[in-house]
């Protein structure tokens, strides 16, 4: 048991309470990183002029859960956002109309090697096997 003291009364937390709080902090951190990554990618893809309808990339579904807007999911799935971002970052229109493999190869030529969180090299096969949201998390341009 963990006891915290406030100006009013001590708060007693059970081990399960602490575990739940830590789990919630971790989920919140992952969510914040994902949200920041999506907004960063949009700002790079649209050269800091993100269209009004995409400025808030999430919407609330019927269960009050935040979901990526379908047009963003589609643009992640077909590599469109990554192409736009690279074309703007490197001021090179040759990055337009690439697939995921082309994007990965272009990044490698620039010395940027994209890996999964376990340091496994990222491939188009891995991207195809995963959801677009995971694609967004795996492409880490920071």
Tell me which residue has tokens 């971002």: 85
Give the tens place of pLDDT for each residue, 34-62.
889 899 999 999 999 999 999 999 998 88
Distances (CA, A) of 98 to 37, 94, 102: 20, 9, 5
Give the tens place of pLDDT for each residue, 79-131.
899 999 999 999 988 888 888 888 888 888 888 888 777 777 777 777 666 55
Calculate ∠ Cα 138-101-82, nearest 5°.
55
Judge if pTM exceeds 0.75. no
Per this entry, what is the length of the chain? 142
Q: What is the largest CA-CA distance in the chain?
A: 64
Structure-model confidence comparison of residues 62 and 14, the more confident one: 62
DSSP structural state of residue 121: B
- 111, two tokens: 């010395």
Give the residue extent of every domain in the chain: 14-138
């Amino acid at each position: 048991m963990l006891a915290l003291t406030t100006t009013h009364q001590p708060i007693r937390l059970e081990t399960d309470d602490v575990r739940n709080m830590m789990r919630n902090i971790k989920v919140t951190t992952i969510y914040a990183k994902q949200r920041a990554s999506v907004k960063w990618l949009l700002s790079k893809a649209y050269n800091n002029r993100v269209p009004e309808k995409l400025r808030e990339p999430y919407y609330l579904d019927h269960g009050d859960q935040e979901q990526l807007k379908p047009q963003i999911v589609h643009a992640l799935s077909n590599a469109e956002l990554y192409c736009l971002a690279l074309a703007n970052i490197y001021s090179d229109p040759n990055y337009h109309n690439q697939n995921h493999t082309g994007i990965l190869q272009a990044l490698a030529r620039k010395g940027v090697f994209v890996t999964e969180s376990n340091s496994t090299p990222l491939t188009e096969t891995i991207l195809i096997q995963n959801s677009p949201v995971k694609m967004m998390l795996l492409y880490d341009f920071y």
